[in-house]
Amino acid sequence: MILYSINKMFTLNVLEKIFFLLIIGLVALSCDQFNKKEDNSVDELITSAILLDQLNPSLYDCSGTNWNFEAFLDSGPRTVCTQCHNDIARTQGLVITDYSLVRNRVVPGNPTGSLLYIKITEGNMRAYATSSIQRGAYCWIRAGAQN
Cβ pair 121, 129 in contact under 8 A = yes
- Binding status of residue 120 toward ligand HEC by CB under 6 A: yes
Residue 81 CB: number of other CB atoms within 10 A?
22
Taking CB under 6 A as the criterion, the residue among 50, 80, 107, 139 binding ligand HEC is: 80
Within positions 88 to 107, which residues make up the interface with ligand HEC, using CB under 6 A? Answer: 91-92, 94, 96, 105
- Binding status of residue 119 toward ligand HEC by CB under 6 A: yes
- Binding status of residue 142 toward ligand HEC by CB under 6 A: no
What are the residues whose beta carbons fall under 8 Å from the beta carbon of 128, sequence distance 6 or more? 80, 81, 83, 120
- Binding status of residue 136 toward ligand HEC by CB under 6 A: no
Burial of 133 (0-12, 13-18, 19+ CB in 10 A): buried
Residue span binding ligand HEC (CB under 6 A) among the ranges 8-16, 38-46, 54-62, 86-94: 86-94
- Binding status of residue 143 toward ligand HEC by CB under 6 A: no
Cβ pair 110, 48 in contact under 8 A = no
Of residues 27, 117, 28, 36, the one with CA closest to residue 77: 117
- Binding status of residue 139 toward ligand HEC by CB under 6 A: no
Residue ranges binding ligand HEC (CB under 6 A)? 77, 80-81, 83-85, 91-92, 94, 96, 105, 115-116, 119-120, 124-125, 128-129, 133
